[in-house]
């Protein structure tokens, strides 16, 4: 029997939804493919070798100063028996990936987790920090980037041309929402993009029945106390930086104080400037800190959350935390764009801010006040029921559709006469972790999840 095909997943080192998705895909298809996951950061790559029993080994592989990228990448693929590359995020090693794949005959595909190939801000954020609604004029985009110090040196015409060349050679392109597919095609119109929603709530969020002795008992989540009152709590979920609305959340809390509104915010997760646990003196803003997704329903109940808000400055391509909120039975309020709007519109399980409301935080707050008012209790309860019943894409369906694309890519590949590059000697594949059992691996994954 021939060995299962080898797939190399390339991610950045930032965790979050991208890593969540890649690991969920590995978990859902490990008996049909040999999966390797590379955290690619410059010349230093950490490559995980996942076995079909759920265990994993990890290796450090480093490119030598005089080693060409095609040689390094080709040697890595030959060493691990890689027949297909699945790109998830190349921000940690962009130039190296460009050079390696341009010279490689190993087929590759790409899943859209952000729109960084079209705009280096990732989510079309203008100089004011807010969504630009997908400007395409290179002159407008160039001026916008020059006004943002981290991107001032980017030539947007060259940026898009280099990514266009990478995408044009891809064997498959996957987007998790219609919005993400349409946005990518707005900048690269000749592409064929398959829409495959992410399986949700996802491998990290699901409740599993462990084998006897497979997992030590988990302690319950530690929490912060809220005042014993009837003030309405609005929850925000996940890792919240400026693009996810960190500054807006701070301003919303300040508006609650100045307007004397009877509501408070609890971030179950953390902000870029406050990892938590932390609480303001008046308890208007609480930061819970990192959380285990298994605990989210209990945490939402503890903090008496009645609504989950997504005060994002830019669009989402899917949003796992929306799936988690619905799985916990809470309705949501979201911006009027991106995958959040696509998923919520018509669901009955939440509401969209209008564009004028989204642009004005006082109006955002007023809308949330209306949704939480006593006169809206029946509508809020009905939305909560619909949230709990909302159909969610499954891991099995996501994996099955993705593996069909893998198979098509393999069939389209020209047969090799001989390997283009020899494998690396064993001395270069330095083991950095002992072999992890499925239970220990789940623990390591959870530590990176939130």
Q: Output the tens digit of pLDDT for each of the chain's 450 residues.
A: 456 789 999 998 877 889 989 999 999 999 999 999 999 999 999 999 999 988 899 999 999 999 999 999 999 999 999 999 999 999 999 999 999 999 999 999 999 999 999 999 999 999 999 999 999 999 999 999 999 999 999 999 999 999 999 999 999 999 999 999 999 999 999 999 999 999 875 434 333 333 334 444 555 678 999 999 999 999 999 999 999 999 999 999 999 999 999 999 999 999 999 988 999 999 999 999 999 888 999 999 999 999 999 999 999 999 999 999 999 999 999 999 999 999 999 999 999 999 999 999 999 999 999 999 999 999 999 999 999 999 998 999 999 999 999 999 988 765 554 445 566 655 566 666 544 444 444 444 444 444
Output helix, strand, coil percentages for the chain, rounded to the nearest 5.
40, 20, 40
Q: Of 20, 147, 9, which Cα lies nearest the Cα of 446?
A: 20
Does the domain at 6-205+395-449 match CATH 3.40.50.2000? Answer given as: yes
At residue 184, the 3 state secondary structure works out as helix
Helices and strands, number each (H, E), in the chain:
15, 16
Query: Are residues 107 and 172 in contact, defined by beta-carbon separation less than 8 angstroms?
Result: no
Strands (E) across 42-166 are located at 44-50, 56-62, 82-87, 108-111
Q: Of 12, 14, 11, which Cα lies nearest the Cα of 25?
A: 11
Contacts of 302 (CB under 8 A, 6+ apart): 221, 223
Calpha distance 289→276 (Å, rounded):
4
- Phi, psi (degrees; rounded to nearest 5) at 361: -65, -30
Query: Are residues 43 and 62 in contact, defined by beta-carbon separation less than 8 angstroms?
Result: yes
At residue 407, the 3 state secondary structure works out as helix
Q: Where are the domains of the chain?
A: 6-205+395-449, 232-389
Query: Are residues 361 and 252 in contact, defined by beta-carbon separation less than 8 angstroms?
Result: yes
- Phi, psi (degrees; rounded to nearest 5) at 229: -150, -175
Q: 6-205+395-449 and 232-389: same fold?
A: yes
Calpha distance 385→324 (Å, rounded):
14
Does the domain at 232-389 match CATH 3.40.605.10? Answer given as: no
Whole-prediction pTM: 0.89
Positive/negative CA dihedral, 309, 314, 320, 326? positive
Calpha distance 229→219 (Å, rounded):
27
């Amino acid at each position: 029997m021939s060995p299962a095909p080898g797939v190399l997943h390339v991610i950045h080192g930032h965790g979050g939804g991208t890593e969540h998705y890649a690991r969920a895909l590995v978990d859902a298809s490990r008996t049909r493919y040999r999966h390797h996951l590379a955290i690619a950061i410059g010349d230093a790559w950490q490559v995980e070798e996942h076995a079909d029993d759920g265990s994993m080994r990890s290796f450090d592989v480093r490119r030598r100063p005089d080693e060409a990228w095609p040689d390094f990448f080709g040697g890595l693929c030959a060493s691990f028996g890689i027949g297909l590359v699945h790109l998830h995020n190349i921000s940690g090693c962009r130039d190296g990936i460009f050079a390696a794949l341009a010279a490689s005959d190993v087929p590759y595909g790409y899943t859209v987790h952000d729109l960084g190939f079209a705009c280096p801000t990732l989510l079309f954020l203008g100089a004011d920090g807010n969504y630009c609604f997908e400007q395409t004029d290179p002159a407008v985009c160039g001026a916008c980037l020059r006004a943002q110090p981290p991107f001032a040196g980017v030539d947007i015409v060259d940026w898009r041309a280099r990514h266009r060349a990478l995408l044009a050679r891809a064997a498959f392109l996957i987007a998790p929402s219609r919005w993400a597919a349409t946005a990518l095609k707005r900048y690269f119109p000749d592409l064929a993009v398959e829409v495959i929603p992410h399986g949700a709530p996802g491998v990290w969020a699901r409740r599993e029945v462990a084998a006897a002795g497979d997992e030590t008992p988990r302690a319950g989540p530690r929490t912060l106390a809220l005042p014993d009152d009837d003030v309405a709590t609005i929850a925000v979920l996940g890792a919240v930086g400026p693009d996810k609305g960190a500054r807006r959340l701070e301003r919303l809390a300040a508006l609650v104080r100045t307007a004397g509104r009877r509501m408070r915010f609890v971030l179950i997760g953390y902000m870029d400037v406050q990892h938590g646990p932390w609480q303001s003196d008046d308890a208007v803003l609480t930061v819970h800190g990192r959380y285990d997704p298994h605990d989210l329903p209990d945490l939402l109940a503890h903090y008496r959350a009645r609504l989950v808000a997504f005060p994002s400055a830019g669009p989402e391509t899917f949003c796992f935390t929306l799936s988690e909120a619905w799985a916990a039975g809470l309705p949501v309020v979201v911006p009027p764009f991106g995958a959040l709007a696509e998923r919520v519109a018509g669901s009955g399980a939440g509401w969209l801010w209008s564009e004028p409301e989204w642009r004005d935080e006082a109006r955002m707050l007023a809308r949330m006040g209306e949704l939480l008012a006593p006169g809206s209790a029946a509508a809020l309860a009905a939305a909560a029921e619909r949230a709990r019943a909302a159909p969610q894409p499954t891991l099995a369906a996501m994996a099955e559709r993705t593996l069909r694309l893998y198979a098509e890519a393999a069939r389209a590949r020209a047969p090799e006469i001989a390997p283009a590059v020899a494998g690396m000697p064993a001395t270069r594949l330095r083991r950095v972790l002992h072999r992890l059992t499925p239970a220990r691996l789940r623990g390591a994954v959870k530590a990176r999840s939130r």
